[in-house]
């Protein structure tokens, strides 16, 4: 159901998925077809399947090319908001204003295997009120593409008012992650380190090749395999991993920091 701006009900926990058509390496990647549906549809579907999630919102830009994302969201009945292309932090802040909530889960639209169970686990850790920010990134124990970050609406407002570096505005939570001593910082571990086992994010043509090959291996391409099923499938089809391996998971953030003549502090 769609609501006028500012009229949506307040929910407890909301996933905000950042999405845009612009991509230097793989233009239009979020609307590319994967196993019969757009990539973004996989992300929304899997995020919405988390039991602790009350609403999923797509946050795209005001660029004309992103009219396609808005059209897809409206047709699919998914709440959508538009904001800055470069200042993604402000876009998130705006999304949380138009679609109010108490707790935010950050997911990106290029992660078609985002896992509902992992999302729930990170939310549960944040719900203890022991932490300002919780993720499964520090240190990561799962492949890139299964990242989940959770923080309060209040913390998002604080970050939006304090962050100055362009890199902190582009990468929504980088300000928190580079200033861990200023926040109550929590991390959820998978239990064993699988962080280098695969690359499960869509940023390059070889990633698309990987995902299409991966979904062809599923007995039911319409299913939502759990993280355990994903890891098992990769273990028995290890050749898949070589398709798109060997890329730094923090490549984008490192480049942004380098453009500011500083070293990423993660």
First vs last C-alpha separation in the chain:
39
Report pLDDT for 219.
81
Q: Around Cβ 172, how many Cβ atoms within 10 Å?
A: 28
What's the CATH number where 165 sits? Answer: 3.90.550.10
Q: Is 146 part of any domain?
A: yes
Q: Is 4 part of any domain?
A: no
Q: Around Cβ 139, how many Cβ atoms within 10 Å?
A: 10
pLDDT band at 1 (very low <50, low <70, confident <90, very high): very low
- Whole-angstrom Cα distance, residue 167 to residue 164? 8
- Whole-angstrom Cα distance, residue 253 to residue 154? 24
Q: Is 172 part of any domain?
A: yes
Q: Which two tokens stand for residue 151?
A: 């923080």
Q: What is the domain range of residue 59?
A: 11-258
pLDDT band at 249 (very low <50, low <70, confident <90, very high): low
Q: Is 265 part of any domain?
A: no
The answer to whether the Cα torsion of 177, 28, 74, 52 is positive or negative is negative
pLDDT at 251 over 90: no
Report pLDDT for 7.
79
pLDDT at 99 over 80: yes
- Whole-angstrom Cα distance, residue 205 to residue 244? 9
Write out pLDDT tens, residues 197-242. Answer: 899 999 999 999 999 999 999 988 788 999 999 999 999 999 999 9
Strand order in the sheet with 185-187: 80-83, 55-61, 11-18, 101-108, 149-152, 133-135, 185-187
Domain count, the chain: 1
Q: What is the pTM of this model?
A: 0.92
Q: Is 266 part of any domain?
A: no
Q: Which two tokens stand for residue 258?
A: 């380098």
Q: Is 117 part of any domain?
A: yes
Q: Indicate the range of 39-43, 67-71, 135-139, 220-224 predicted with least confidence.
A: 220-224
CB 174 within 8 A of CB 167: yes
Residue with tokens 């802040």: 93
Q: Is 252 part of any domain?
A: yes
Q: Is 24 part of any domain?
A: yes
CB 112 within 8 A of CB 19: no
Q: Average pLDDT of the chain?
A: 93
137: phi then psi, degrees, rounded to nearest 5: -110, -15
């Amino acid at each position: 159901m769609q609501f006028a701006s500012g009229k949506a009900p307040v929910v407890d926990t909301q996933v905000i998925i950042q999405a845009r058509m612009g991509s230097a390496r793989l233009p239009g990647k979020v609307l590319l077809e994967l196993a019969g549906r757009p990539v973004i549809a996989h992300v929304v579907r899997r995020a919405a399947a988390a039991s602790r999630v009350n609403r999923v919102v797509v946050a795209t830009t005001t660029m004309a090319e992103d009219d396609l994302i808005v059209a897809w969201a409206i047709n699919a009945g998914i709440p959508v908001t538009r904001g800055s292309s470069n200042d993604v932090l402000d876009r998130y802040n705006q999304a949380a204003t138009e679609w109010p909530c108490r707790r935010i889960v950050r997911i990106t639209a290029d992660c078609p295997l985002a896992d509902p169970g992992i999302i729930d686990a990170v939310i549960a850790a944040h719900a203890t009120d022991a932490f300002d920010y919780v993720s499964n990134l520090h240190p990561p124990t799962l492949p890139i593409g299964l990242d989940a970050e959770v923080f309060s609406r209040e913390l998002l407002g604080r970050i939006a008012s304090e962050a100055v570096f362009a890199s902190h505005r582009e990468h929504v939570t980088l300000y928190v992650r580079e200033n861990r001593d200023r926040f109550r910082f929590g991390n959820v571990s998978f239990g064993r380190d699988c962080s280098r086992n695969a690359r499960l994010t869509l940023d390059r043509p070889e990633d698309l090749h990987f995902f299409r090959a991966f979904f062809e291996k599923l007995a039911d391409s319409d299913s939502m395999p759990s993280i355990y099923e994903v890891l098992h499938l990769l273990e028995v089809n290890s050749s898949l991993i070589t398709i798109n391996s060997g890329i730094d998971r923090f490549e984008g953030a490192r480049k942004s920091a380098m453009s500011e003549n500083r070293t990423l502090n993660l």
